[in-house]
Structures are given as structure tokens and as C-alpha cells.
Chain A
Amino acid sequence: MGKELNNEGFVKKMFKKYYAEWEGEPPKDFNRREFAFVISRKGEMIRHKAFEEWGEVREFLRKNSPLHVYYSSAYYAQPSASDMDAKEWMGADLIFDIDVDHIYTPCKERHDRWTCLDCNTSGRGMPPEACPKCSSKRVEVKTWFCEGCLEVAKEETTKLVEDFLIQDFNFSPREISIVFSGRRGFHVHVESDVVKELDQRARREIVDYVRGTGLVVQNGKRRVLAPPLNAGGWPGRLAKGVYELLNAGDIEGLLNLRRGSKVEEVLKAIVKGLEESRDYWPLEGLARKIWFKAVEKVIVRKRCEVDERVTTDIKRLIRMPGTLHGGTGLIAAKVHLKDLESFDPYVHAVAFVKGEIKVKVLNMPEITFLNQTWGPYNDEVVELPIGLAVYLICSENAIVVGEGDENA
């Protein structure tokens, strides 16, 4: 109808549409949790909301169609109290955050850019802590989430859930939910009475465990006691990791060793030792050296890169599963562990699947959206599927030029 809409108005309209029929799935004991919302781009976060009935939550979302919806990982006696002490903390879920923002991926060199807001220096890849030219910390980033990034995030999530949470910590799959963060990673929620009341220090131990932080492998000056393959926890993980590593090809290259009969012999001896030992067994000299080199590699491979600050914070606000991310317009969708491998956010987390709209794209690399490839675009007006348009507008990579036929 040609009615001009600004970006915010357009996004608001789309979000309203989404929440009109939204049912949602109430999180465990939702009436003991604090809810928080960001309604508009410039608005402050509304905090300390609490709801007795799930219907009230739906009603609130329908009325306000917020850009961001959060709830507390913590359970409180008085979730709506505005003073943190008056809330009376009763426990909290255990939360893990896997975010590609904090994990190195080689593809970032291709699709991520940073710019210093003070001197305009810019570059590609992971942003520096401070501008290399003027040392300013006001560095702005423009990031994308490509298939390479997605693979890394999935791999870390699988490791976290299967190797650590289920195998070592013995959480039941029913207590674990994996949720697409809505942007560049996954949140993993553990709702279990076993961890509910653990304090920050205990949670730091859990996060250190998962990240392999503080792992002591240097026991003994002259010899090292190597764990057996059947050991539990990290000792067994290291033994298995070294075993896999030594059985894979080009081991000398990987460990930067000089090829030779002596090395060959020692490698064979370690493999044999691992196969035969039922208890801790000693390694000396070259074997000890190789062991350490291998273990270093194994730790990096087997540890899981979660953001420690999120897990240790017992009063964190976390995005509510099933709601929209205001920075992407994608759904923070729950993903079953068995579906994780095939999960594609640009298919399974898309909220708006019908219709096209014309937008002016400022910048966009090639993206496969709803199984169709688009772009790259640079400062041009194009007709795009409405979900992709919402994505670009929310992430400030496009602007609305006219009303499309999204009702089609």
C-alpha cells in the first residue's frame, strides 16, 4: 500500500505478528523467576517482573511484543522485589553459554570486521581488545554467523552435553535443554536439584572442569604417571585422547618431533602401555616428553569453550527459549540433542517464512537462508524473503524501502 515504515516500526509489526499466536513453553517454576524485557531499541530494560500464570506472560508479550525477553536462571522467594537481597535467592539453574563471539573460528577472517570508533582503523577477523593504532577500547564489530561458525558451535555444544554433562556429571538428558541463542551460539540449561543450590565457587569448579582449567599434568619432575584408558573424568579423557592421537597419522608432524627409530619405538611403547595398563603407570625420559606434548594437544581438543562468566553467575538473566532475538529476528529455539547435527538456524529458527519484501541492503555476505542462497549484496535494493529481511534490518544491515506483500 506504499505506506512508508521506518525500521523500528517494521520490526515491531513483525514481532507483534509472531507473539499474537505465541503459546510458549513455561520454564520450570516460572513463577519463582524474575522476568526482564527490552521493549524498544532505545528503551531501558524493564526488570523485576514476575508472573503467577503462564497466560499473563503470553498476554504481556502479545501487548508489548518486546525485542528481547529474559528470565532469571535463579529462583527467588520474591522474584518481583527490586532489591537483590529482598528477592531471597532459592537456587538457580546451571547455565552454559557457547558463543562464537568468544571462540576463534578461521572463517571470521572472511566475514567479521571491526572498526575503531576513535580513529577509524579497521580490520578483519576477531576484534582486538584495544585498537592497535590508538589503543582505544571503543571498537565496533560487524559479525556474521556462517556455516563454519555454526559447525564449531555445534561441536562445542555436543562435547559439553555428551562428554561432560551426561557422561561425567550424570545429568539425565531430560534435565538438559539446548537452546539456540538467537545469534551466534547455544545456551545449555540444566534444571536439576543436584546443582540448584550450588554457590558461585562450586559453579566455578564445574566451569573449570568443562574448560580444562587448572588441569595438572606435570606430576613428578623426572617421571610422569600416566592414567589408564579406563580411568574416569579427565585422566581417562587424556589417556584416550593421547591414544587416538598416537594412532592417527603424521604423529611426528603434529607433535613437532624429529622422525627416527628412537621416536618410533617410544611411540609404540606408549600405545602398548595404554593398551595394557589397568592403573597409573610411569613414563620417563623421551616418553615423558612426548606424553606432555600429546597431552597439551589433547586438552585443547577435548575441553569445551564455554563462557565462564555466565556459568558462575548465579543470578543471571538469560534469553527465554521460544522468544525472538531483537538483534536478528530469529527464534531462540530449543533443539533436541539428536537434532543438533542437522540444526540450521536459517531454517529452523526462522519466525517469518511467508512472503517477500524489498529492502535496501547495506552490506551482506553470501547467505543461505531457507535453503536458498542470497547475496552478496552491497548498498543495493533487492527483494528478499521476509525472514531474511527481518534478520538484516534487526542487525542493522538493511533498511526498509517499502511495504512488501508479506501477507501473501
Chain B
Amino acid sequence: MIFSKLDAATYPFISLASRLVKELEESLGLNAILSPDSEVLRRSVERIREAVYSRATSVYKRDLEVEVLSHPVALILIKHMNNKRLVNVYAEAEKNRVLANLLKESQEKLATLAIDGFNWHVKREGDFLFVRFDDYLKTSVNMLDAYWKLVNRRLVKGYVELSRRDFSRLLAEAYRTRILEKVNQVEDVQVPSTLKSVIEELEREFQGVLPKVDVSATYVGEYVPSAFPACILKLLEEAEQGKNLSHMARFTLATFLLSIGKTPEELLDLFRKMPDFDESKTLYHLRHIAGEIGSRKKYTPPSCATLRTFGLCVANDELCQKVKHPLTYYSKKLKSLKRGELGKRAK
């Protein structure tokens, strides 16, 4: 299967897209691409605005070369704005756009896109696509819903069986993750000074639209369940099993996960299993405690003392004795995991 320019514009993760970007960059020159009156720059800004205002980007079909270039340029702009929330919003919007397109593709095309873009090991059989479990896990770990847990999938001879729809969702999520990695990687490109004013203008524009993130907390943005305290792990497990959690339990779980960088949208899937789940109500509550709407107060999880009173504390290790707050537990544990405290853990 041979990819077209339209494919490269639609799916920025395929090899043809990066090849085109490289060729165009060489023939046009970075300065021309980033000049204030460049069509690419205009489209890149538009792309970011689409993400912010409508949570999904579009594909600009009039000039496919402009479209292909606009994605990496958008990433450069976003990198310079240095706003974590904006990165997440853009990545999410791109994912939504790609997903909508993937859902229209044939089984064969889906497989080819995944192999070319992400080196997945893919097999096709009947109505299903099969992804090797290691490729599956690298992406599925970002999907909180129990539905995506490996234990709930059909794993046959090392391959995970997926419907076309689920395959598309997994692929779109892999793309989202790649954008986040890319933004962290993009080296500090020296941008022309004219671009600086564009960036500043966008920053001003988005200020009221995007909620401020709490940058003081060191643990923000790292989702490492193995560093969660037992109380949170237990709640997470119960939520995934669809147990009916008390109000306090839900509040604790939600505030904890939001504090470490999950978005309300991402948490939605987690609460979907609750017997009394109501999508719009839950999202409203989540966004409220995330400080996105309403009083704009970002709630933090209750302290260990409070959790003990509510019977939610299941302290089971030494670290629990030393901390007074589940978030402190998490950041301490995370640090020690990174330091790799091995001596005590020899088996």
C-alpha cells in the first residue's frame, strides 16, 4: 500500500509525512516557513486555535504541503508557549481528528498505518486486527478505563485481539502520546523575533481560556501507579471493578489523580463503570474539582487523618507511617523509585 500526500497530511505520524517535512524544509528554508506572512505559519496558528476552541483539528485540503508543514510548526509554537495544559489540549484535539479519520479506513489501511507509523506487529484475521502485546501495552497503559486493561482483552499467542474500532482508538492514543513526547523533545529552535510576537499574542489570547496549571507541585504530570499509596490503589481497583464508591471515595480518587496531571476527560472513563454513572454530571463534577469551572478552586485530596476517619486508609507499609498526606506518599515513593533503592529489595 502506497501512501498519498493526503495521507501524510491526515496522519502526521507516518514516515511519508516526516520525509515530506524534511524535503520541504530543505527546499523552502526554515526562515521562509516561519516568516510572518507565511501560509504555513497562518495555518499552524489556526490549527492550535481549532484545538483550543473546538477540541478537534481539521485537515486543510487546499494545500497539502502547507498542511503537512503546519503540524511540526504548531509543535514549535506550542513548545515556546511552554504551557503544559495547551500541549495536552493540542494533543487531545489531534487525537480526536485522527480517530475520526481512522474510523473510516479499511482494515488493511489501518494495519499499514500502524506498522509504518509505530512499528507495531500487526496481524489480520477475519473481522479482527491483532497487535503484539508489547506494542499494545506501550499505549494502553495510558488508557485508564478497565476496558483497556490487558486482563480484560483476548490475548492469543502473544497478540491482542481488537475490533477495527478499538484498533483505531489505540492507534489514535499512540499518536497522542507521540505528540507529548515530541514536544518534550523538540530542541530549542531559534525562532525569528517576528515569531515571538505571534507567540506572545497567542499566550495572551489563551490565558483566560486555558486554566492555569499548578506548576509548584513536583509530582504533576507523572502517572506511576506503582508509586501510589495503598489507599488510592484500592480505590482505583474498586472503581475499575465497577463497585459503587462512596462520595468521599470518589472525591479522594478524583482529586488525587487530577493532582498528578490527569485531565477530567481522562477520568471520565474511570467512573464510567459506576452503577449510577451520568456522563455530563460526572464531567461537570470533575471539572469543578479540577478548578476548570465554577469557583476555580483546585481541590486537593484529603489528608491521611481524614481518610482514616472515613475508613479509607489501608496503610500497609513503612512509608505510610511517615507521611500525613497521600500526595506526599506519592512524591516520596516516586523519588525513591527513581533513585532505585535496591539494597532492601533483593530477592
| Contact residues in B for A206 (Cβ distance below 8 Å) | 137, 150
- Candidates A70, A72, A212, A318; contact of B151 at CB < 8 Å: A212
Contact with A along B303-347 (1 / 0, CB 8 A): 000000000000010000000000000000000011110110111
Known contacts A214-B240, A235-B154, A221 near B275 by CB under 8 Å: yes
Q: How many residues of B contact A (CB 8 A)?
A: 41
Does A168 lie within 8 Å of B151, measured CB to CB? no
- Kindly identify, within residues 197 to 247 of chain B, every residue whose CB is under 8 Å from any CB belonging to chain A: 223-226, 237, 240-242
Known contacts A36-B346, A84-B339, A312-B226, A213 near B151 by CB under 8 Å: yes
Known contacts A198-B137, A202-B134, A209-B150, A168 near B155 by CB under 8 Å: yes
A205 at the B interface (CB under 8 A): yes
| Contact residues in B for A129 (Cβ distance below 8 Å) | 316
| Contact residues in B for A286 (Cβ distance below 8 Å) | none
Interchain pairs with CB closer than 8 A, number: 129
B149 at the A interface (CB under 8 A): yes
A370 at the B interface (CB under 8 A): no
Distance in angstroms between the alpha carbons of A95 and B151 in the assembled complex: 18
A187 at the B interface (CB under 8 A): yes
A236 at the B interface (CB under 8 A): yes
Does A233 lie within 8 Å of B225, measured CB to CB? no
- Kindly identify, within residues 187 to 217 of chain A, every residue whose CB is under 8 Å from any CB belonging to chain B: 187, 194-195, 198-202, 204-206, 208-209, 212-216
| Contact residues in A for B133 (Cβ distance below 8 Å) | 169, 194
A319 at the B interface (CB under 8 A): yes
Known contacts A198-B137, A213-B151, A216-B273, A315 near B241 by CB under 8 Å: no
Distance in angstroms between the alpha carbons of A45 and B345 in the assembled complex: 11
B70 at the A interface (CB under 8 A): no
- Candidates B141, B154, B158, B273; contact of A202 at CB < 8 Å: B141
- Which residue in chain B gives the minimum CB-CB distance to A38? B346
A218 at the B interface (CB under 8 A): yes
B132 at the A interface (CB under 8 A): yes
- Candidates B157, B338, B345; contact of A313 at CB < 8 Å: B345
- Which residue in chain A gives the minimum CB-CB distance to B132? A194
B129 at the A interface (CB under 8 A): no
Does B237 lie within 8 Å of A187, measured CB to CB? no
- Which residue in chain B gives the minimum CB-CB distance to A95? B347
Does B156 lie within 8 Å of A316, measured CB to CB? no
A271 at the B interface (CB under 8 A): no
- Candidates B132, B141, B156; contact of A205 at CB < 8 Å: B141
A317 at the B interface (CB under 8 A): yes
Known contacts A194-B134, A195-B134, A170 near B149 by CB under 8 Å: no
Identify 4 new A-B residue pairs, CB closer than 8 A, beyond the known A68-B346, A168-B157, A317-B346. A181-B347, A205-B137, A205-B150, A216-B240
Between-chain CB contacts (< 8 Å), 27 pairs: A45-B343, A47-B343, A85-B338, A95-B347, A168-B156, A169-B133, A171-B158, A194-B133, A200-B337, A202-B137, A202-B141, A204-B226, A208-B150, A209-B150, A213-B151, A214-B146, A232-B156, A232-B161, A233-B155, A309-B345, A312-B226, A315-B342, A316-B345, A317-B342, A317-B346, A319-B346, A319-B347
